[in-house]
Amino acid sequence: MADSEFWRSLFRTKPVEVYQEEAQRTGLRRALGRWSLVSLGIGAIIGGGIFTLTGVAAKLYAGPALALSFLIAGFACLLAALAYAEFASIVPVEGSAYAYSYATVGELVAWLIGWNLILEYMMGATTVAVAWSGYFEKLLHLFGIEVPYWLMNDPFTAAKKARELGLEPPTFAANIPGFLISWIVVSILIRGIKETASTNNLIVFIKVGAVLFVILAGLFFLNPANWKPFIPAPEVDAAGNIHYGWAGIFTAATIVFFAYIGFDAVSTQAGEAINPRKDVPFAIIASLLITTVLYIGVSLVLTGMVPYKSLDERAPVASAFAGAGVGWATYIITFAAVAGLISVMMVMLLGQTRIFLAMAKDGLLPAGIFGYIHPRFKTPFRSTLLVGAIMSLTATFVPIVNVSELTSLGTLLAFTLVSLSVFLLRIRQPDLERPYKVPLWQVVSLGGVAVNIFLMSQARKENLRAFAIWAVVGLLVYFLYSRRRSRLQRSISD
């Protein structure tokens, strides 16, 4: 009997009605309208990926058919986005995938989702901080400003660069730009959601303008001959990997999929949305569709400006314009990347602290730190400072660039569970009020599960092992701390 109670306790669910009651007394300031939420979604999605991933995906795998790869990846994300939209209309709270899983699958699964969202949000933001430092260094180079490499890189990366240059490793090295930008972002976030949204709107305006510039300016340099053949004939390399053809298009889709990560962060802002049950679903889908159109436009222009095999893998947009004789465009593109990555960091950290807030409300994390709302700013003040400190120190001293695939695995697991949760809730509570309903819900939800599991299976084995280790650490934290302090557990004990 005791064993059966133990196993039941691991999968106890938090009633949807309780979430709906909590949504009425969030404690956060409701200041985000429909288009502010759309802007946050775009701010989270469009980052440096569009300026970098397109090179590898087009040159090595898809060719001009990269536009189809973006379409496939966008469709895969749309399946998850529709599931998020339905749940956001039912459970309009800041917990996102964590809360949706808690309401349907159970506490243990919800905890693991919340734990793995750390990979998407906090570790994702840290990766972006390091990437921002790299783009900032490029921007300085464009203006002839040289900064010592040991002030722009963590100690491990700096030592590697020293060896490449034939120098002695420096006695001190730190990624100072990564440290500074982390605290600039934190200072904006703790001031309040209005200030955060205003800053994000300005940055989104800049980077969407840059993407539109790439598309519109590139139209004047198109050579339709570069699109022929649109789908290059398949090639097999010495290792047996297939390039081009439909196999290459799907491989490229798994690469550019990571350029879409971030739309789900909109659901973490439900506690600060003015009309969350309608506006959050709209913003999730609208931000994804807008960015998909922009991504397809960029991919068509790049492969039309120059032959796809001549694209630079690391800086494809700049190389395409340089190849067309428009080298000055590099300044605009680099500046847009520097500005654009700031909004990605903002929305990622915003999402992380709201996930932690939801988990603290449920007793799974210390409420004194993660559940504390500043009386004046109406933001999770202590949580933001703690997450910012971890992010800044990691970006400064740890070589974190290779964590990007782990970030994607954490995201894909969240997508899988949300899609499954929609399916389960439709069966268990078919009469529940749903302001937004997923069309063809059986196909969309189960299709989302299948697509996301497939994409997870494409990850490298070493990253899958690291992901499994991360999950084991999460289980230890749950059983040693969170399970006993869960509000549901205490209500049973009382």
The predicted model gives 393-417 an average pLDDT of: 81
pLDDT of residue 493: 55
236 pairs with which residues across the strands?
242
pTM of the model: 0.86
For 229, 245, 329, the CA distances from 250, given in Å and listed in that order, are 17, 9, 31
Using CA atoms, how far apart are residues 142 and 446, in angstroms rounded to an integer?
Answer: 49
Asked if residue 400 has pLDDT above 80, the reply is no
Q: What angle do CA 414, 110, 472 make, to 5 degrees?
A: 85
Among the listed residues 272, 352, 339, the one whose alpha carbon sits nearest the alpha carbon of residue 331? 339
**Domain 32-493 falls in which CATH fold?**
Amino acid/polyamine transporter I (1.20.1740)
Most confident stretch, 31-40, 44-53, 54-63: 31-40
Residues in CB range of 160: below 8 A, 6 or more apart: none
pLDDT of residue 457: 81
pLDDT of residue 48: 66
Asked if residue 22 has pLDDT above 80, the reply is no
Among the listed residues 310, 261, 324, the one whose alpha carbon sits nearest the alpha carbon of residue 64? 310
Among the residue ranges 5-9, 120-124, 424-428, the one predicted with the least confidence is 5-9
Report which of residues 447 and 326 the model is more confident about.
Answer: 447
Kindly report, residue by residue over 300-321, the tens digit of the pLDDT.
998 998 888 888 766 788 778 8
pLDDT of residue 255: 79
Beta-carbon-side half-sphere exposure of residue 147 (alpha carbons within 13 Å):
20
pLDDT of residue 71: 92
pLDDT of residue 176: 95
Most confident stretch, 94-108, 259-273, 309-323, 354-368: 354-368
Asked if residue 202 has pLDDT above 70, the reply is yes
pLDDT of residue 131: 83
pLDDT category of residue 27 using cuts at 50, 70 and 90:
confident
pLDDT category of residue 404 using cuts at 50, 70 and 90:
low
pLDDT category of residue 8 using cuts at 50, 70 and 90:
confident
Among the residue ranges 19-28, 140-149, 438-447, the one predicted with the least confidence is 19-28
Preceding peptide of 229 cis, ω within 30°: yes
Tokens 């205490």, located at residue: 490
Kindly report, residue by residue over 338-358, the tens digit of the pLDDT.
888 888 899 889 889 989 999
pLDDT of residue 475: 93
Using CA atoms, how far apart are residues 28 and 384, in angstroms rounded to an integer?
Answer: 14
Q: Distance from first CA to last CA of the chain, Å, rounded?
A: 19
pLDDT of residue 1: 43
pLDDT of residue 479: 92
Instruction: Quote the strand ranges of 184-326, DSSP E.
Output: 235-236, 242-243
pLDDT of residue 359: 92
Kindly report, residue by residue over 433-463, the tens digit of the pLDDT.
888 898 888 999 999 999 888 888 877 677 8
Cβ-contact 314, 55 below 8 angstroms: yes
Mean pLDDT of the chain: 86
What are the structural domain ranges in the chain? Answer: 32-493
